[in-house]
Structure 1
Amino acid sequence: MSSLGESVKNYRRLKGWTQEQLAEAAGASLGTVRTVEQGGNASVEMLHTLAAALDTTTSSLFATEVPSPIEVDSSEGPRLMELRRALMPPVGLSEILVEPSEPVALSAIQRDIDDQHALYRTDRYDSVAKKLPGILRAAEVAVATSDDGEDEQRAKIVRARALLLAGKYLTQVRRYDMAYHALSRGIQEARDVGVVQLATNGVVGMGWLLLRQDRFDEAEQLAVRTADDVEPRMSKATPAQLAVWGELLQRVASASIRNNRPDVAKEARRMATTAASALGREHMDFREHWGTFGPVTAETKAIEDLSLVGDARGVLGRADEGPVGSKALKKLGRPSPNNWDRHRLDVARAHVKLGSHQDAMDELTGIKASSPEWLKHQTMARRVMREILGSRKRTLTQDMRETAAHLGISG
């Protein structure tokens, strides 16, 4: 039995419950509870549900244990080798060993960073991965060859932005150790040169990484502390200050709702909505904050909370209304493709839970058409697709076969 399974079993026994009673309280099947307690796999959403039934936090169910072996595609190493070499060069006794190259103007490096952010936003991950090594090397050379003073500070700001872009890309494609290295260096660099807004932008990214690693307590604490440090005065705050503060509050809410702390999540969402309302519409500035933020983004994340607690009807009741309705989108602007696609995945999941498998399939097909690379990296998409396939009694449609293949699902 795994440590996780033992934790669930111990909490259940403290309640004086049988496995059947835990299954009933959590709205799960008896087989699911048995699988978890015997060390089988379970989604974070299911663990959240079990934790809520057991009156504890999701984090308390996790324990340190030896991870299961992971199958790695043999092409994975070569694909990221150049990025790995640029981001994490060998370190010797005297200095970092970097390949010499000609200095590039800071304005050109910054332009490349801006261009790659634009490509990242439009689902062009392969292009970003190919360009990042050169950007990182150019930024390192710029710092190494700069004069002391303002010239060096400008070079370090550009290097911090390059590192944060690398951290964003690597978190998205689930290369978490590399992402942590890039984000932590970027935050420290920005902090060292006194650019608080840029460092805070990196903290938003660090919060996202911690969430991806199921480190809910740490994600919440980091975001709370940073949000307190940078809380703006509403009457004088710039759009970027409001946006980064709102993004931090969203990290607080996302961590606490996953950790079975709904009251904390509710208050954080309320404050994020306040920041979004002060902005008035979606705001994007990758140099100053992590992504697009505004009323629509705040609403998609509030709907995501409903999805996480299993309220499928609540998700569908708000899925195309209010700030996320078609009329509001024209007035308020669209959120980032990542946030919008995640919202539509929540809608697909809600349809599956209510047995509307064709509606769920329509959502997946739409996301695949607009963001095929993003979809490949979404565990929830594979889960939804498997449920659709498992419920299908007739021959699969062409869309079903193509989407399943796209997500790497066979059989």
Structure 2
Amino acid sequence: MSLQENVRSQRRTAGLTQEQLAEEADLSLSTIRKVEQGGSVSVETIHTLARALGTTTSSLFASGAPAPTVEPEGDGPKLMALRRALMPPVGLSAALAVPTEARDLTAIQRDIDDQHALYRTDRYDSVAKALPGILRSADAAVALSDGDASRRQAVVTRARALLLAGKYLTQVRRYDMAYHALARGIQGAREADDTQLATNGIVGMCWLLLRQDRFDEAEHLAAVTADDAEPRMSSADHAHLAVWGELQLRLASAAVRNNRPGVAKEARRMAMTAASALGREHVDFRHHWATFGPVTAEAKAIEDLSLIGDARGVLSRADDGPVSSKALKKMGRPSPNNWDRHRLDVARAHALLGSHQDAMDELTAIKAASPEWLKHQKMARHIVQDVLRHRKRTLTQEMRDMAVHLGITG
């Protein structure tokens, strides 16, 4: 069924007129009519409708065939080298990979670590250029490994390279390639019997599913894996606590987007338990996905308020408690991506309350710190478009520059 049929059917089942649904959802009547006439709306609007109808967001999504694309999709030459290394042609006997010289596993791992550091500092072009060589070297290391111990180490190294590729590709929204990289990385970690590394990959897979609005699947995968990986708080090492906490964050994020607040609340509580056990932000890219700790857990809890449109709630907690400047000095900073996302939520809250200059100040600060990251954020474009739409006075140079940076025209 299509989105319009799902909304119309559930509205009628609830005994609501279009006007009543608009009032319950705090949306305009024209938006309800647009949805039921087959118009395109954001996932945030669908989530709002689901809350008003007392159902999950996923239940409203269309299940039919997609509309035909007007132009062929693809990256042209931009990611061709990475595509070739990650997804070589497959023949009758083996993948037709480009031959490469074998390299020492320590050197390959050092390259992976270096690229994680560059990814963390918003150097996506550098990561994209380095990944093809890293992946080919890792494939060669596995192919040329001799003996069980040597092969296991090579497979683990390749799995780490694949998870880095999946992380980068998810960030730049190349989802089919990202799925391929993450799935291969998880499978490799399982082959090597490295449960911690496989769990790390599953955290990334949950993020990818969230990015694709596959909320049911993301929630289920995170919940099942979290149950399997649950640590003993008294004896678990930092990496184990962190990756389990990250799974709880993914579970909560999926549940809140899917209008399951009870599940989200419990998962947030579990994430904070793991974060409290750590005591401060912890990072180890070889064993868990990103930086995790009390600051990250609080920033993600505030993100929930943003998702349900509670702008005042976001601003009341945005610079207090674990995300205050004092706490950052004591407990450490979260990953740049998570911190930038938190400040993006703050910018959206300002925009929703009509404080356009405050919203622009937040966006400008993010642009200064992470210009490439910001380009890939749909929320940033929505905020700027909202500011431009409601701005009654002449646009400032800052606003014009931001629109150009985000590719907003007209």
* TM-score (norm. length: structure 2): 0.98
Show the 5 A alignment for 1:3-402. 3-69=2-68, 76-402=75-401
Which amino acid counterpart does residue 237 of structure 1 have in structure 2? A
- Cα deviation for residue 70 of structure 1 reads 5.0
With over 3 angstroms needed to count, the CA separation of the structure-2 counterparts of 1:72 and 1:201, relative to structure 1, is farther
- Cα deviation for residue 71 of structure 1 reads 6.6
Residue identity (%): 73
User: 2:33 & 2:389 partners in 1: Cα distance?
Assistant: 21
Give the match's secondary structure for 1:396: coil
Give the match's secondary structure for 1:76: coil
Tell me the alpha carbon deviations over residues 77-115 of structure 1, each in whole angstroms, 9 at most, x when there is no partner.
Answer: 200111000000011001111121211111111011000
- Cα deviation for residue 76 of structure 1 reads 2.6
User: 1:4 & 1:196 partners in 2: Cα distance?
Assistant: 39
User: 2:212 & 2:125 partners in 1: Cα distance?
Assistant: 23
With over 3 angstroms needed to count, the CA separation of the structure-2 counterparts of 1:238 and 1:307, relative to structure 1, is same
Tell me the alpha carbon deviations over residues 206-255 of structure 1, each in whole angstroms, 9 at most, x when there is no partner.
Answer: 00000011111110110000000010001110000000000000011000
Q: Which runs of 5+ in 2 are unaligned?
A: none
Give the match's secondary structure for 2:79: helix
Which amino acid counterpart does residue 188 of structure 1 have in structure 2? Q
- Cα deviation for residue 67 of structure 1 reads 2.5
- Cα deviation for residue 393 of structure 1 reads 1.6
Tell me the alpha carbon deviations over residues 37-92 of structure 1, each in whole angstroms, 9 at most, x when there is no partner.
Answer: 12222121111110010010000001223334557699832001110000000110
User: 2:159 & 2:75 partners in 1: Cα distance?
Assistant: 26
User: 1:351 & 1:94 partners in 2: Cα distance?
Assistant: 58
Runs of 4+ displaced beyond 6 Å: 71-75
User: 1:386 & 1:171 partners in 2: Cα distance?
Assistant: 24
Of 9-18 and 63-72, deviating more is 63-72
User: 2:178 & 2:346 partners in 1: Cα distance?
Assistant: 29
Q: Which runs of 5+ in 1 are unaligned?
A: none
Tell me the alpha carbon deviations over residues 293-334 of structure 1, each in whole angstroms, 9 at most, x when there is no partner.
Answer: 000000000000001111110000000000000000000100
User: 1:71 & 1:360 partners in 2: Cα distance?
Assistant: 34
Give the match's secondary structure for 1:78: coil
User: 1:393 & 1:52 partners in 2: Cα distance?
Assistant: 33
User: 2:409 & 2:100 partners in 1: Cα distance?
Assistant: 46
Give the match's secondary structure for 1:154: helix
User: 2:344 & 2:69 partners in 1: Cα distance?
Assistant: 26
User: 2:286 & 2:164 partners in 1: Cα distance?
Assistant: 10
Of 262-271 and 8-17, deviating more is 8-17
With over 3 angstroms needed to count, the CA separation of the structure-2 counterparts of 1:409 and 1:70, relative to structure 1, is farther
User: 1:324 & 1:192 partners in 2: Cα distance?
Assistant: 39
| CA RMSD across the alignment | 1.2
Give the match's secondary structure for 1:24: helix
With over 3 angstroms needed to count, the CA separation of the structure-2 counterparts of 1:261 and 1:273, relative to structure 1, is same
Which amino acid counterpart does residue 261 of structure 2 have in structure 1? P
Which amino acid counterpart does residue 55 of structure 2 have in structure 1? T
Which amino acid counterpart does residue 323 of structure 1 have in structure 2? P
With over 3 angstroms needed to count, the CA separation of the structure-2 counterparts of 1:72 and 1:374, relative to structure 1, is farther
- Cα deviation for residue 148 of structure 1 reads 2.1
Which amino acid counterpart does residue 42 of structure 1 have in structure 2? V
Q: How many residues align?
A: 410
User: 1:173 & 1:388 partners in 2: Cα distance?
Assistant: 25
User: 2:23 & 2:74 partners in 1: Cα distance?
Assistant: 45
User: 1:70 & 1:325 partners in 2: Cα distance?
Assistant: 46
User: 1:251 & 1:75 partners in 2: Cα distance?
Assistant: 29
